[in-house]
Structures are given as structure tokens and as C-alpha cells.
Structure 1
């Protein structure tokens, strides 16, 4: 009898724990943002630096803000304050997923160092520098597709039905995540 009661208590605890984990998972999936497993958005790159410095910069944990259920880090207090004043102005399009991929109906990781561009005061990220160049060569065709497909791709990321490509699936490319800044 004692084993039966213990088993029932364990089953109830397991069920409640699973329910709590599902509730937490649902809360985090509201915005599927490109982030590390620790919840650091954009591999820790400072999204404001692309606009203010014209190049990527790594953020520092002492300059951080929470946005879309993730931690965003910045290279300076000034960039942090700019982001806090208007996060939508600096956050990348498609929550930081590859613009080329989204235009083609799927999601993919990005190259934060060489795969970025700014168009019409909006930051776009791409799988690699080569993919960025292909995107820009067809920008008039690709941008409308990216905007048209984002809601469907984001929904697929939320429910797990979106096709997704990670750099780790192509180790020959040499990408490491979180992506480091290149040596200068």
C-alpha cells in the first residue's frame, strides 16, 4: 500500500511539474528570438552598434535590457539607453533570423559579423556574407517576400513546424555559436 501511495504522489508531482514546464515554455515562446541557450539575444551582439558605429560590437552584461523575453546586451551605456528608448528601432527584423531564409519560408541562423545590412533604417541579418550579397542583388524581390512570410515562419518557430537550419549542420563553414568577434 505504501508503494502505491508513493507511486501516486510521484505521478501527481510529475504531472504538475510537466504542466508548470509547459506553462513556462509557452511564456517564452511568445517571441521566438534568435538567442543562445542561456537566453542572450543575438549571440550577445549589440544591435545598436550596427546603426551608431556601422559595424558589429559585442555587448557586455553590465549593459543589458530585457526585451521580448530575452536579455539583450550592449557595448556601452549610451547604446543601452538608445535601445531602451526605442527597441523596435534597433531590434533586427524577423527577430534576428536569416532574411533570405524567411523570404523562402523557413528559418536559419545568421552571421552577425558579415551577414548584416541596414535598409530603410531597419537591420537585417543573413546566414553569411555570400547570402547577404545574393539577397541584396535581388532586394526589390526579396524584401517583400521576407515581410510577407515572417508571420508564418514565426508561427512555425513557435509551434515547432518551421524548417530550421543551424550553422552546426554545416561544420565546414566554421561558424561557432555564440558567434565570436573576429580577431582584429
Structure 2
């Protein structure tokens, strides 16, 4: 009886050795669990032109790196399409501080900064305050960790 139980355990665990990973790599753009919309539906160009988050519209949208980006106007959509890397949030919109620490967390559209012409999002105000204590160091560390943190 014990031999049968041991054999069953060995066979069962052998199946796990060849099983697919329990989770796939994370998407290159943060969209949340039940959404495919980047930046929580906010217009990434508006951070640069308006100086604050502005909700985008389904009337003005495009797919970029597997996520839907929305814009407040056709002009902002066209601006994005001309140079998406300039306007898309760094680290796919994941929290810049978390990426600097070697992992991913959601980026919040209301907790943001533009540094050297690049948009960064953070998880919340508390985390943004930590990030702002030494933004340059966190950006360097995040650039080192990106995109490996997606694995």
C-alpha cells in the first residue's frame, strides 16, 4: 500500500516538472486586471500639454504595445502616433518606484511626474513621495531593471 502511494506521488510530481508555468510574463503595458486600457484611460499627451491628467475618449484611441491608449482629441492622438515613445509612460505605466525596486506594481494616473521629458507613474502618493526623494537614482535603477521585471 505504501509503495502504491509513493508511486502515485512520484508520478503526480513528475507531471508538475513538465507543466507549463503557473503564470505568463506580464504585459509590457500596465492595464489592470479586467481592462486593456493603458493609463486608466487618461490621455498621455495631455500630461505634457495640459499639465495634468485628462480622461481620453473612445472616439480617439490607438493600440500600442498591446494596450489601448485613449486621447482627449484627434490632435493628441495624432501627436502620440507621430512619436509614441515620447508620450507613453515609462516602464509601460507600471509604478516607477516599484520597477526601481525590482518588481512591478500598478501605476496610478493621478500620481505622476514628467522628468527630462518622460512621463512616470507611481502607485500612490506615499510611494510617489519615496520616489521623489531621489528620482534620478530610482530612474537609473528602474532603467537597469526594465524589462526584466516583467518576467
Q: TM-score range by the shorter chain?
A: 0.7 to 0.9
Provide the residue aligned with 1:121 in structure 2. 117
TM-score, normalised to structure 1's length? 0.65
Higher helix share: 1
- Partners of 1:32 and 1:95 within 8 A in 2: yes
With over 3 angstroms needed to count, the CA separation of the structure-2 counterparts of 1:76 and 1:122, relative to structure 1, is same
Stretches of 4+ moved more than 2 A in 1?
29-32
- Equivalent residue pairs, number: 128
2:28 — aligned with what? 32
CA RMSD of superposed structures (Å) = 1.8
Name 1:146's counterpart in structure 2: 142
How many angstroms does 1:110 deviate by? 2.1
Alpha carbons of structure 1 residues 127 and 38: separation in structure 2 relative to 1, 3 Å? closer
> Does 2:74 correspond to 1:77?
yes
Q: Does 1:136 align with 2:146?
A: no
Q: Which runs of 5+ in 1 are unaligned?
A: 1-25, 157-184
**1:54 alignment partner, one of 41, 51, 68:** 51
- TM score, norm. by length of structure 2: 0.78
Q: Name the counterpart of 1:42.
A: 39
The unaligned stretches of length 5 or more in structure 2 are 1-23
**Aligned partner of residue 81 in structure 1, secondary structure:** helix
1:65 aligns with 2:62: yes
